[in-house]
Each structure stands twice: as C-alpha cells, then as structure tokens.
Amino acid sequence: MSPSLYSVRMRASYHGQHLTGAERIVPQAEVSEVTAALTERAMTCPGELADEIQCSVEKIDPTTVLYAQLPDLSTYIAPDWQAGHRVASCLLARAGVQPEIATRAVALLASGAGPGGTVMRGALIMDASSGKRLEADPARGVRVSRMDLSPECRSALESDLAAAGLGHHRVLEALVLAGKVLGAPGIVAELCWSDDPNYTIGYVADPQAGYQRISDLKLAGDSCGGRVFFIDQAKTSLEELVDYLECQVVLFNASGTISTAKKWIPADE
Ligand code: AMP
C-alpha cells in the first residue's frame, strides 16, 4: 500500500502583509521535518521578520491525485528589461494571446496589477482574446496550491537544474507552479515575474512551448511583479478553472527537458 500523503502549507506575514509562502506534498513520515523546514524558511526570509506564521497540514485522498510531467525549460536572452518585455509579449502572442492584450498585460504587471498599483497576492486571470480581467478579487487574485514533485522526481530535477546552473530554489518552485497551471482547463499561457527586487528573471509558459525563462523583465530594485493566467473562456468556466488551480492535487513524477542553449527572439517578430 502506498504511504499516506499530506499537503503542508506555510505562509508568513508582518503586520498583516504577506511576506512569503511555500508548500509541499509529502509522505506522512516527512510531515514534521518539512513543517519545521518551512517554518525555518519563514523565519529566515530576507526583509522584515515575520510576526505571524501559519502552517497547515492536510491529509490527501490518494485517489484524487493527478500525476503529470513537468514542462520543458528553455531560456530567452533579453539585453535589458525593455527588450525582456518585448520577448514576453512575443512569446505570449505565439501562444495565442492577442498581441495587444499581451503588451497590455506586460505593462499592467510592471505598474502593479492590484488596486492602486499594488502587487497582488496571487494571479490575475485574463481572457486571452478580449483582455477582460476575470478574477473575483483584484487584490488577492487566485492562489495556485497543492502541487509538488514526487521524491524521485525532486532529487533528479534538483541535480539536473544544478548542473544547468539553475539551482536557485525559485526556478524549481516556479517550474512546478507553471506545470500545474499549464494543465488547467482552458489555459492559453502564463506570464510571471517576481516582486522580489533582487530577482529580475521571469517567464512565459504555454502548453506547447513549455516554461520559457526570460533573462530580464525588470530593473534590480523594482518591487513590482505578479502573475497573469490567460484563458480561453470557450474551453472552461471560471469556477472549474479556479477549483482546479486551488484544490486539485498534482504531483509531478517526470521532468521535461532542460535546455541550456540561449535563445533570442528575431528582431522582426
Ligand atoms: P514569486 O515568484 O513567488 O515572487 O511570485 C511572483 C508573484 O506571483 C507574486 O507577487 C504573486 O502576485 C504571484 N504568486 C505568488 N505565488 C502564487 C501562487 N501560489 N499562485 C498564484 N500566484 C502567485
């Protein structure tokens, strides 16, 4: 009989402001160790010291787990953030997002997509052909949850990413999140860059091309960032999409390819 699985989730805040969060899906025997590791991560995250850390542990019904393969990873080089924005718009258009919607979405993330130009806590959902925003709460957005790597896949991926010079935990975690998003009903593409002022790399992901990193999407020191999920409303309802993103347990048990070749977008595209 396979061991019981648990979802372990942590989020830390300071004066009610979200600082950091992380989650894992692990066998019962690892729950205590992983809860301690996530708490340690909250206590040592750069910036303000957390004044509230919430950890939740929830048993998973094994019959509901969806097993999947991670997307392929590639990297586009942009000489500066302006070029990075053009690369992102171009990759989104290739994925099927209307070109002017893609450009508008990139500018929206750069200016802060939450109320009053703030950074959202989760992702905004946008219709890929009309640009209409669909998330119910424009400050919170939608938070993708309940996804992880199987233990064998985690150790293989960690060593493959390290060998490719991509050992930063952000790459692995974003790849897992994007992997879950790309399996969502009606998904056309995802755009992301971090609100961490020290991390200027982001990505565009789509079901055909996979997870495409972009070397520069903002200036160092800029604390704007966020995520946009572009969808085709003819292929899903918002309710079905949000239920999948928040609740469906997805465990990745196979990696995609990791390409170290550097790619450029042709100037005329
Ligand atoms: P990060 O890469 O963790 O810095 O996150 C970048 C942005 O993505 C954040 O500012 C949020 O807007 C959004 N985000 C972070 N975590 C999630 C998540 N689990 N689900 C949806 N959006 C997220």
Q: How far is the CA of 159 from the centre of ligand 1 (A)?
A: 24
41 lines ligand 1 (CB under 6 A): no
Q: Which residue, judged by its Cα, is nearest atom 15 of ligand 1?
A: 122
123 lines ligand 1 (CB under 6 A): yes
Predicted pLDDT of residue 268: 80
Q: Which residue, judged by its Cα, is nearest atom 6 of ligand 1?
A: 194
Q: What is the DSSP string of 222-269?
A: ----EEEEEE-TTS--HHHHHHHHHH--EEEEE---EEEEEE---TT-
Mean pLDDT across 30-40: 97
% the chain with pLDDT above 70: 99
Q: Report the alpha-carbon distance of residue 35 to residue 86 in Å, rounded.
A: 40
Burial of 190 per CB tally in 10 Å (0-12, 13-18, 19+)? buried
217 lines ligand 1 (CB under 6 A): no
Query: Is residue 2's pLDDT more than 80?
Result: no
196 lines ligand 1 (CB under 6 A): yes
At residue 12's C-alpha, the angle toward residues 243 and 9, to 5°, is: 40
Q: Is 74 helix (H, G, I), strand (E, B) or coil?
A: strand
- Summarised one tens digit per residue, pLDDT across range 103-113 is 999 999 999 99
At 80, the pLDDT band (50, 70, 90 cuts) reads very high
Q: pTM of this prediction?
A: 0.96
Q: How far is the CA of 245 from the centre of ligand 1 (A)?
A: 13
- Summarised one tens digit per residue, pLDDT across range 51-61 is 999 999 999 99
Query: Is residue 47's pLDDT more than 90?
Result: no
Among all chains, which residue has been given the structure tokens 């994007």? 178
- Summarised one tens digit per residue, pLDDT across range 199-233 is 999 999 999 999 999 999 999 999 999 999 999 99
Query: Is residue 257's pLDDT more than 90?
Result: yes
Q: Report the alpha-carbon distance of residue 159 to residue 157 in Å, rounded.
A: 5
Q: Report the alpha-carbon distance of residue 2 to residue 241 in Å, rounded.
A: 29
At 18, the pLDDT band (50, 70, 90 cuts) reads confident
Residue to mutate, 17, 18, 227, 244, ligand 1, most ligand atoms under 8 Å from C-beta: 227
Predicted pLDDT of residue 3: 76
Q: How many CB atoms lie within 10 A of CB 200?
A: 20
Predicted pLDDT of residue 79: 93
| End-to-end Cα spacing for the chain | 53
- Summarised one tens digit per residue, pLDDT across range 111-130 is 999 999 999 999 999 999 99
Predicted pLDDT of residue 75: 97
Q: How far is the CA of 119 from the centre of ligand 1 (A)?
A: 9
- Summarised one tens digit per residue, pLDDT across range 240-252 is 999 999 999 999 9
Q: How far is the CA of 177 from the centre of ligand 1 (A)?
A: 9
Q: How far is the CA of 234 from the centre of ligand 1 (A)?
A: 26
- Summarised one tens digit per residue, pLDDT across range 143-201 is 999 999 998 999 999 999 999 999 998 999 999 999 999 999 999 999 999 999 999 99
Query: Is residue 1's pLDDT more than 70?
Result: no
Predicted pLDDT of residue 176: 98
